[in-house]
Structure 1
Amino acid sequence: MALQNQTCASNSAEQSTWTAAGDEFVLLDTVQPPARIAMARERMLLSRLYLGLIRSINDDYGADFVRQNDSATFRTIGIYLFLRTAMCSPVRATTIAQGLRIPRATVLRRLEEMIKQGYVERIGNAYRVTDKVNIPDLQQRLQQRVDMILETARELSKLREAGGAAH
């Protein structure tokens, strides 16, 4: 009974964390992934986290941003560039290409798109994000992402403690 109550409380907490992302992101404990997929439940949780984070970034910057740049490469370069800017270390296109294992020509094209949209600026041979990345309701949006990450970590920890029996 205590285990059942913990599960219900966990499901309730998970649903409140993920409800803002949409019904398709709320996982049910009763769903059993195919046995042919190794570590399926863990991978399902991580997939949901990745998709939730990507979707929240898309939501932050609006439909125009997503419509014009529907590319995982574009987002990856943007995230890497943000990280380097936050570290006070503008970065060259070659470094981005090497760090992300993406062709330099692709990196340069994506950087040009970001410059046109005002998200990136060039400083000599290096690039950094502009103040346009400061969006309204930033604290609330970041907290939602932190909640997604924490909930996923809790669920993964439960699976590890169960010894993989939930597969």
Structure 2
Amino acid sequence: MVMALQDHSDKSDSAEPSKWTAAGEEFVLLDAAKPPTRIEMARERMLLSRLYLGLIRSLNDDYGADFVRQNDSATFRTIGIYLFLRTAMCSPVRATTIAQALKLPRATVLRRLEEMIKQGYVEHVGNAYRVTDKVNIPDLQQRLQQRIDMILETARELSKLRSTEGSAR
């Protein structure tokens, strides 16, 4: 799939520079790009794809190359995110519950949990699991703010597309 890119010398519609420029030019979309008409809601989906990829990449950056290299798996990250959510809710969770919630085989969940335990990101408490303090990374506030900015900018762009579609009808 070819994605149109914006040169940093191009001027954007908004006076504010894109929050995405820090992610690299492969994440900066060209406003004038015309996605194929055969793909329904292509611009919206393109923006959401960029958001998903940007968030995944930022998580990879947070936890380092060793973490990513050993566990290059969307399943691994999904289990980790779910486990973090449950820990933040003060609700450690059983492997069976994780498997059911994420619609994954329990054996896969158990393997991934064991990998996370070996790396020190997860601990087994009774018959449940929770994340450890190792998730508290340096520069956390700045990293979270970058993610929030990515989400807000994507939401603004999606909103503009929606108003443009509404006025075109």
Q: How far apart in 1 are the matches of 2:25 and 2:12?
A: 18
Paired residue for 1:44, among 37, 42, 46?
Answer: 46
Pick from 13, 16, 20: which aligns with 1:13?
16
User: 1:109-130 deviations in whole A, cap 9, x for unaligned?
Assistant: 0000000000000001100000
C-alpha RMSD of matched pairs (Å): 1.6
Residue from 93, 96, 110 that aligns with 1:94? 96
Higher helix share: 1
Residue of structure 2 aligned with 1:23, choices 14, 22, 25 = 25
Write the mapping of 1:84-163 to structure 2, written as runs, cut at 5 A. Answer: 84-163=86-165
* Distance (Å, rounded) in 2 between the aligned partners of 1:13 and 1:156: 17
Number of positions where the alignment pairs a residue of Structure 1 with one of Structure 2: 158
Question: Residues 7-49 of structure 1, C-alpha deviation per residue, up to 9 Å, x if partnerless?
Answer: 9442x5352x001111000001011111100000000000000
Aligned residue type for 1:13:
E
Contact 1:90 1:126 in 2 (8 A): yes
Q: CA–CA distance in 2 between the matches of 1:92 and 1:120?
A: 12
Cα distance change, pair 14–74 in 1 and its aligned pair in 2 (3 A): farther
Structure 1, unaligned stretches of length 5 or more? 1-6
Contact 1:33 1:40 in 2 (8 A): yes
Report the 3-state secondary structure (helix = DSSP H, G, I; strand = E; otherwise coil) of the residue aligned with 2:54: helix
> 1:163/1:90 Cα in 2 relative to 1: closer, same or farther (>3 Å)?
same
Which residue in the other structure is 1:70 paired with?
72
**Is residue 14–residue 151 contact of structure 1 (8 Å, CA) maintained in 2?**
no
Displaced runs of 4 or more, over 4 A: none
Query: Structure 1 residues 165, 155: closer, same or farther in 2, change over 3 A?
Result: same
Structure ranking higher on relative contact order (CA contacts 8 Å, 6+ apart)? 1
